[in-house]
Structure 1
Amino acid sequence: MPSAPAFTSGKALTGDRIDTTGVAELLDSVASPEAALPCRSGDADLWFAEAPAELERAKYLCGDCPVRASCLAGALARREPWGVWGGEIFEKGVIVERKRPRGRPRKHPVVPTTARTPSSQQSSGQRSAA
């Protein structure tokens, strides 16, 4: 099985090629070039954004696309390295449910302020008053 090309910072290294076989054919198969394909109208960078919220927006826009199923099947076959394809987020050739924001993940989960008990709030208030 051939290995996927190496990528750094979301860009192919010099000399590596990204296999786009089938993408143009898929988009050209739509009956009308003016068809309302969300990836062909508006900001194309939205489908390759870094911000999780923007990727969620791209996924939403794919919802009613007439070539969504074919787009997803092609992306899976090509093992797309990143982006939103067929309404799913791809990272390193596989579908991920959500993209993690940049930065190091927390060591410990954050306790919501509503989960604090009245006694813990009172004792912390007493400490600050002292």
Structure 2
Amino acid sequence: MVSPSYGLAVAGRRNPHLALVPSLSERIGVQTNPLQSALCTTVNPEVFFATVPFVVEIARRVCERCPVQRACLQGALERGEQYGMWGGLTPEERRELRRPRRKARKTAEAPEVRKEVRAA
């Protein structure tokens, strides 16, 4: 006799029929993650962490055609990703992109610091 597996909502050996049930997001047509439609999900992830120039160029071309390239790059900059191709940029290119922002922040803060030092 097979006992019912109450409380299990995970598809697998005990409930193989659940694998056929689409998720709520699929049923209503809403994406819960905006990066779900990223083209990189269809390519071997190792391509985006390669050091060989030819493979890096392949990753860049995938990113160029991706509909979520900007969101990907913005997320990588916010998280401070140090490795891999994100939003079509290598780690070195992302560091160069962040540099002017750091300089702008330092120069914006510098006059206030100077005033505080003079007042003391």
Tell me the TM-score range normalised by the shorter chain. 0.3 to 0.5
Larger radius of gyration: 2
- Higher normalized helix content (fraction of residues): 2
